[in-house]
Copies of this chain bind each other. A is one copy, B any other.
Amino acid sequence: MRVADLTEQVLNHNDFIDKAIQLALENVRSGSGGPFGALVVKDGQIIASGANQVTSTFDPTAHAEVVAIRKACLAVSHFELTGCAIYSSCEPCPMCFGAIYWARPAHVFFAATASDASAAGFDDSFIKEQLFLPYAKQEMSIAQVSHRLALAPFEAWKTKVDKIAY
């Protein structure tokens, strides 16, 4: 990498995290949802951005990272974000963390921490604590149900010839 490229990248890096924070601030001002913004960068260009839309769209999964990932995937017409970087105003919650792992970007950068989010009233840390617990000790009622066909979908999947793996 040439020095000029490196300098340009460092400048952009700060610009991108700043842009994610500005999206979060604008989202609070507009009342569209929580104080979170995110964007997806590919080859130095922003290909998608998102802000939290939970309350305005009745969608508990519409966190900034999820919104940005969904838009970015549509932009590249693929369900993975190979080689992309995700910039978020805040450390991803467990749901977004999972979404990011499934999207497989090259890098993730965030500004505020999950502790900062919890201090502002968001359950990120609580959910992560729950994930570490066995179901019997979790706050939510979650349980396995026996069914004779429980493995049938996987067996069908394994023998399907024309499947698209992901």
Contact = CB atoms under 8 A, between A and B. Distances in A.
Q: Which has the most chain B C-beta neighbours within 10 Å: A90, A93, A102, A110?
A: A102
Interface residues of A, number: 89
What is the oligomeric copy number? Answer: 2
A11 interface: no
A79 B59 contact: yes
Interface in A117-166: 117, 119-121, 123, 127-128, 130-132, 140-147, 149-154, 156-158, 160, 162-166
A82 to B, nearest CB: 12
B98 A78 contact: no
B166 A55 contact: yes
A47 interface: no
Given A61-B69, A149-B21, A154 B13 contact: no
A125 to B, nearest CB: 12
A161 B146 CA distance: 48
A107 B139 CA distance: 10
Q: Which has the most chain B C-beta neighbours within 10 Å: A54, A58, A93, A160?
A: A58
A140 B100 contact: yes
Given A60-B79, A153-B25, A141 B107 contact: yes
11 contacts: A31-B163, A35-B154, A58-B74, A58-B79, A60-B80, A89-B150, A94-B94, A100-B140, A101-B130, A112-B153, A120-B154
